Structure 1
Amino acid sequence: MKVVVIGGGSAGRTASIEAAQIGEEVTLIENDKIGGKCLNTGCMVVCGLNDVAKFAINAKKFNQIGITDVNPKIDFEKVADGVKNTVGKIRGVITSETKKAGVNIISGKAEIREGFATVDGIDYPYDKLIIATGSQAFIPPVDGVEHAKIYKDILNYKKVPEKMIIVGSGTIATELAGLFSAYGTEVHILCRTSFLKDVETDIRNYIVEKLLKNVKIHENTSVSEIYPDGALTNSGRMEGEVMLAVGMNPNSDLVKHLVETGKKGEIIVNKRMETSHKDIYAAGDVVGGIGTTPVARMEGVVAARNACGVASEVDYSFIPSSISLYYDVSYIKSDEEGITGHIPGSAGPGAFWNVLDRETGITKVVVDKDGEIKGVSSISPSARSVLVYMSKFMKDGYKTYDFDNFVETHPSTDAVYKLMRYFSKFE
């Protein structure tokens, strides 16, 4: 059977490898760069920039304590070049990995019709088609919007901006604010309604008060016009480089004539990642769901398996989310009420010297009366790693008393197990 996958990002690349390993003939078509948004302009870029930001924050802190006399000057152009170089090496590795799995990679823009994907006049027939074309930044209809930058433009800066206005209130806006504030930029976040409205109040407060302490956040603020050197808001004119982070739009135009789409252009799928067309599947940002790389990979695997006749469904329960700042911010959100416990973060690697300022993070757990874990939130150097395993424990039905004999690796900044063991005493 011939399987064609459109899009070489997290969802598409994973789907192509899965289908090839099942034993099908797989062609992966990518219009730009293998690795998609996550590797080339998103998550990995933020990781690289955040490592430098953490260094800058620590250098300043150690100077204040008096244990060092270092005043690093950040050459942003060289930082950006280093990130590009590293990303390029990673891209080479995953491209080789994909080819070794038996996937035929084609570069170019595809056109889709019934039974065929066409690139540069060459037809690639398919029995099953998987659409994983991702998403792109939403550009609001505001006068002068052409003067604004988006996340894809970050690595094109020659120097750190003196002032930056970030329009948006979600994860991307938060991460950009943390990065450029650490680099010395005066940062303002403009939120049309509330800042990080999907994050629990105490976690959001810690972010605002501790991790974005030098960032000015303006809620209920709208932008009516953008200039090369600022923006006009309902509170007046503000000066600075304008960066847009107001959401994403699914890239579904390629197959809108073949499959059903929603109001925002997202391809409508079921839990098997099946579209309205019996031979077409979709996965990743293009389906408009949870826009994270692990979810895209999961959807890609499920799409590939079903396309190849192996029944599979996605499981969206207990999905961990994260925000990359000086500390990792990670959470498994719960809309259910329960018994809540929270403690400060633990002193340990990456947090030791912050004990002096009482800024070691925070951990929060929500459980029900039977000890079932309903939600976990953590801000610490290890939060992202810890929460992924908590997600697995929660999916598998672990309860607080299962942590009674838990033995941690020490030293660690994981405070989750402490709360679990505390709650287990009352079971």
Structure 2
Amino acid sequence: MRVGIIGGGPAGYSAALLGAKKGWDVTLFERKDIGGTCLNRGCIPTKSLINSALHGLPFEEAKKRKELAKRRLVLGVERLLQKAGVKVIGKEARLEERKIITDDEVYEFDRILVATGSVPSFPPIEGKENAKTSEDALELHTLPERVIIIGGGVIGLEFAFVLSSFGSEVHVVEIMEEVLPGTDPECASVVRKELEKKGIRFYLRKRVERIEEKKIYGEVELEGDAVFLFTGRKPCLENLPPEIRDENGVKVDEYLETPIPGVFAAGDCTGQFMLAHYAYHQAEVAVENMEEKRVRCRRNAVPGTVFTHPEYAWAGEMEGESVKVPFSANGRAIAEGDTAGFVKLFYKEGRVTGIHIVGGRASELIFSATFMLGKKLEELRWSIPPHPTNSELLKEAVLAALGTSIHC
């Protein structure tokens, strides 16, 4: 089978490798960088900076580590594609019906995957072009002394943590009642309060109406050396036919097929969960469904994570009753002196509906927690986590829901 893929980010390159393993003839079109936003301008470079900040490295050294990590991973993906026999065409491509067109050639395939990713999204603020984006933040040559961040979501908080750790004075403006809108407010408030202890200043329920040079105006007026606008992302839909897209992203059915038969979509461009790990998952599903296997995505078990300190991770629904188990009741957390936060477990009719973790290693714990979703509390009570680990908090939360906890 001949397969064409538009976009070389997490969804695109992983689908290319999966298709090649099936013996397909795969061609990947990427106009900029293999690895997409995640490897080049998102997940990987930001996590490198966060790790450097946690270890107290100077800003100049942190920048070098970031570039080395990014380049190593990008080269690794490029080598995997080459080894798998995937043909990579470094040109801008557009989709027309069942054809992929570049500036000088028309390609026809048996199946096509659209994986065009996403771009920064900005609210209707006057002068928004005067603000810097997350991509600008990753390319800073010098550290701004005073920083204004508009947007208290995941990206805003991670950069607030990084810049503050390296020595910047950071001010975060958020229009909603609490940071991290859409998550559990109690958990989000723990993250905010811990960041406030680092000296980060928050302005909640404040609307920004105008950005002028290095100043912001509206319900709060601030001036700094740099203004950053971190207000989310939107699907990249250019070069796609109107019949497969709307204001929410590329239109797909439950099997990730678009209204054009044989054309599938995966990743941020679908507008579902703009997360690299969900893009990988969608790529797997789309590749299987190219063979008409009728596989569906697991949308009820997609974890989210904020890589601040403490970390915050969640999965499932905030449905039913809830119990909390504090990190201060955990031996590993006490031994390491990292006791901020808690595990919050939601349950209904004896089954786990959701889990929110704010505290040490939350990003690592949440994967195990996703396997608890939908399971009976009575079954989970017999699990055996290793001691001493933070994972014991997951079982302790189950026992707390059953009323049999002995540690809290």
TM-score, structure 1 normalization: 0.88
Shift of 1:157: 1.1
Matching residue within 153, 156, 161 for 2:144: 161
Matching residue within 207, 210, 214 for 1:225: 210
CA distance in 1, matches of 2:381, 2:90: 53
Aligned counterpart, 1:62? none
CA distance in 2, matches of 1:29, 1:81: 29
Give the secondary-structure state (helix, strand or coil) at the position aligned to 1:255.
Answer: coil
Identity of aligned residues (%): 24
Aligned counterpart, 1:39? 39
CA distance in 1, matches of 2:401, 2:123: 47
Aligned counterpart, 1:122? 105
Shift of 1:353: 4.6
CA distances 1:246-305 after superposition (whole Å, capped 9, x unpaired): 121211121134x332224x1111110011111211111101111111111111111122
Whether 2:398 is the aligned partner of 1:420: answer yes
Shift of 1:407: 2.4
Moved more, 337-346 or 83-92: 337-346
Q: Structure 1 regions of 5+ residues with no counterpart?
A: 57-71
Matching residue within 352, 361, 384 for 1:373: 352
CA distance in 2, matches of 1:423, 1:225: 48
User: Partner letter of residue 399 of structure 2?
Assistant: R
CA-based RMSD of the aligned residues comes to 2.2
Contact 1:50–1:326 (Cα < 8 Å) also in 2: no
Give the secondary-structure state (helix, strand or coil) at the position aligned to 2:385.
Answer: coil
Contact 2:318–2:346 (Cα < 8 Å) also in 1: no
User: Partner letter of residue 407 of structure 1?
Assistant: I
Shift of 1:9: 0.7
Equivalent residues in 2 for 1:47-58 (5 A)? 47-56=47-56
Whether 2:242 is the aligned partner of 1:262: answer no
CA distance in 2, matches of 1:54, 1:417: 28
CA distance in 2, matches of 1:188, 1:207: 15
Contact 2:101–2:107 (Cα < 8 Å) also in 1: yes
CA distance in 1, matches of 2:47, 2:297: 27
Aligned counterpart, 1:67? none
Whether 2:380 is the aligned partner of 1:403: answer yes
Shift of 1:171: 0.9
Q: How many residues align?
A: 402
Shift of 1:339: 4.1
CA distance in 1, matches of 2:309, 2:403: 34
Give the secondary-structure state (helix, strand or coil) at the position aligned to 1:189.
Answer: strand
Whether 2:314 is the aligned partner of 1:336: answer no
CA distance in 2, matches of 1:95, 1:351: 43
Give the secondary-structure state (helix, strand or coil) at the position aligned to 1:408.
Answer: coil
Shift of 1:424: 4.4
CA distance in 1, matches of 2:389, 2:359: 10
CA distance in 1, matches of 2:325, 2:183: 15
Aligned counterpart, 1:249? 234
Give the secondary-structure state (helix, strand or coil) at the position aligned to 2:264.
Answer: strand
Contact 1:12–1:130 (Cα < 8 Å) also in 2: yes
CA distances 1:178-225 after superposition (whole Å, capped 9, x unpaired): 111111211111112232221212201211112343221112222222
User: Partner letter of residue 159 of structure 1?
Assistant: T
Whether 2:211 is the aligned partner of 1:234: answer no
Shift of 1:13: 1.3
Aligned counterpart, 1:293? 276
Equivalent residues in 2 for 1:5-404 (5 A)? 5-56=5-56, 74=58, 76-194=59-177, 195-213=179-197, 214-257=199-242, 259-264=243-248, 266-345=249-328, 352-354=335-337, 359-370=339-350, 372-394=351-373, 397-404=374-381
Contact 2:372–2:380 (Cα < 8 Å) also in 1: no
CA distances 1:88-108 after superposition (whole Å, capped 9, x unpaired): 111111221223233221111
CA distance in 2, matches of 1:223, 1:380: 31
Change (3 A) 1:351 1:4: farther
Moved more, 10-19 or 114-123: 114-123
Contact 1:6–1:131 (Cα < 8 Å) also in 2: yes
Give the secondary-structure state (helix, strand or coil) at the position aligned to 2:170.
Answer: strand
CA distance in 2, matches of 1:225, 1:425: 52
Change (3 A) 1:405 1:104: same
CA distances 1:25-62 after superposition (whole Å, capped 9, x unpaired): 11111111111111111111121011112123xxxxxx
Change (3 A) 1:351 1:145: farther
Give the secondary-structure state (helix, strand or coil) at the position aligned to 1:205.
Answer: helix
Contact 2:307–2:363 (Cα < 8 Å) also in 1: no
Q: Structure 2 regions of 5+ residues with no counterpart?
A: none
Change (3 A) 1:215 1:307: same
CA distance in 2, matches of 1:231, 1:126: 50
CA distance in 1, matches of 2:41, 2:139: 11
TM-score, structure 2 normalization: 0.92
